[in-house]
Structure 1
Amino acid sequence: MIQILSHRGYWKFPAEKNTVEAFVRSFSLGYGTETDVRDCLIGGKPRLVISHDIPDGTEISFAYLLSIARQHGSPTLALNIKADGLHDMLAEVLAAEGYDNYFLFDSSVPDLIQGVKRRMTSFTRLSEYERVPSLYNEPGITGVWLDNFLPGRWYEAPLVEKLLDDGKLVALVAPDLHRRNDEYEPFLHWLVSSGLRDREGLMICTDFPEKAKELLRV
């Protein structure tokens, strides 16, 4: 059955994105979440923080996010890596918090290689601009982040089925993340009619997780 990931937590207003309130709301309703990880110099020391844009040091720490998630049953965390060279710090914090229900994605290819070398759970990418997924068969590449930047859907169910049959997890980027809200409900109905909704190993990342739960009936 498909798994729902909220995008930057389950926020009601844009200012709530990547905040404690949004994460607690998401986890309390049983959703995993996607979020953004960057490094920031705080008190003269590098720290990992949750921030989509360049951080200023006021953001919540990555370690604190993990502690909140653990308190809510350790849901899936999709970690969008916004800067290169963070793998050692990421591994250290994940180990310290005892958190293993995560995957890294959106790393550059050189950084993706570093994740593979460190045996960190990582997703490669597919989109209309990236038709060949980097490092697809490398150990540690457990899934595919399947994106769709342009209007319409460039892929069909057989592609998703093949990825799943290859033993990969697949996270679908819902069209609302690219401000195509008019495509959102048709996309959800397609997931049902195609039978993909019932496949194990499939995820959807969206700003509207409750709408996804309602229409997908999960």
Structure 2
Amino acid sequence: MKIDLLAHRGAWNDPDEQNQSIAFERALSAGFGIETDVRDHRGKLIVSHDPLTQDENDCLCLDDFCRLYRKLNANSCLALNIKSDGLAAKVQEILTHHDINNFFVFDMSIPDMLGYLNQSLPCFTRQSEFEHSPVLYEQSSGVWLDAFESTWFDAGLIETHLANRKNVCVVSSELHGRSREQLWPMLRQFIDRNDSDAKLMLCTDFPHDFHHDDQGVLQDSQRFLA
């Protein structure tokens, strides 16, 4: 089966490029999906992991992010990490305006998640070593499969979710400061031996390495071309 690769905050060469237009353009031009963060600031939806401490002009708004996606004729998946409550209607309005359909939202509070589900927006529920039973599983489109301290899950859990027609997005180990040498070989074996109508995705800082790095070892030196 195929695995879709999501570039965590874009395809960045320097941490300062995270969630910036240059990183998003690199990722989309390479055919990768994107995981990014959405919050509100002074009445606008912006792309930012943290609350703004700088001038808002230094930060990309969600509308411009979607405009870039359309400009590049992209069709890869967008994973929108919702950082503020009460944004469902506005998120839906912006994505609909730009005719973006390949996306999901995740990581909002449970009451806020109900609002997205009520508007029929695709939501992923989280599962981790601290959240063994994913909330609102039946209503969710997929599972955000996280591992904060160790790779606690195996291929069998992924297979179970896919068999339940739930898409799965696995969080790569380097996002939590660990080597990917255990996770990536397991995922490679899984996609070679399995097939499913549901989607399997990997959110990673190194999407360009997945099909080329046989060791699965974190290599900070290899980044993207400008």
Q: How high is the TM-score relative to the length of structure 2?
A: 0.87
Q: Which has the higher helix share?
A: 1
Ranges of 4+ aligned residues in structure 1 off by more than 3 Å:
194-200
- Figure out how many residues of one structure are paired with residues of the other and give that number: 207
Question: Separation in 2 of the partners of 1:6 and 1:198?
Answer: 23
Matched, 1:145 2:144: yes
Query: SS of 2:186's equivalent?
Result: helix
Matched, 1:40 2:51: no
Superposed, 1:173-188 pairs within 5 Å as 173-180=171-178, 183-188=179-184
Question: Separation in 1 of the partners of 2:155 and 2:113?
Answer: 27
Contact 1:4–1:31 under 8 Å retained in 2: yes
Q: Tell me the percent identity.
A: 39
Contact 1:9–1:25 under 8 Å retained in 2: yes
Partner of 2:112: 111
Superposed, 1:54-203 pairs within 5 Å as 54-55=51-52, 56-58=55-57, 59-72=59-72, 73-138=74-139, 141-150=140-149, 152-180=150-178, 183-195=179-191, 199-200=195-196, 201-203=199-201
1:30 maps to amino acid: G
Q: Which moved more, 1:202-211 or 1:189-198?
A: 189-198
Superposed, 1:7-22 pairs within 5 Å as 7-22=8-23
Partner of 1:24: 25
Deviations 1:91-134 (A, max 9, x none): 11111111111100001111111111111111111000111111
Question: Separation in 2 of the partners of 1:195 and 1:7?
Answer: 21
Aligned residues: CA RMSD: 1.5
2:152 maps to amino acid: W
1:100 maps to amino acid: N
Which of 50, 54, 77 matches 1:53? 50
Give the superposition deviation at 1:74: 2.7
1:132 maps to amino acid: S
1:16 maps to amino acid: E
Give the superposition deviation at 1:185: 3.0
Query: SS of 1:115's equivalent?
Result: helix
Ranges in structure 1 where 5+ consecutive residues have no aligned partner = none
Deviations 1:25-72 (A, max 9, x none): 00111100000001011xxxx110100000241211101111111223
Contact 2:142–2:168 under 8 Å retained in 1: yes
Deviations 1:142-178 (A, max 9, x none): 110000000x311111110010000010000000000
Contact 2:3–2:191 under 8 Å retained in 1: no
Query: SS of 1:132's equivalent?
Result: coil
Contact 2:7–2:206 under 8 Å retained in 1: yes
Q: Give the direction of change, closer, same or farther, for the CA distance of 1:29–1:197 in structure 2 (3 Å limit).
A: farther
Question: Separation in 2 of the partners of 1:146 and 1:197?
Answer: 20
Question: Separation in 1 of the partners of 2:12 and 2:25?
Answer: 10
Question: Separation in 2 of the partners of 1:199 and 1:13?
Answer: 36
Contact 1:160–1:170 under 8 Å retained in 2: yes
Ranges in structure 2 where 5+ consecutive residues have no aligned partner = 215-226
Question: Separation in 2 of the partners of 1:97 and 1:88?
Answer: 15
Partner of 2:217: none
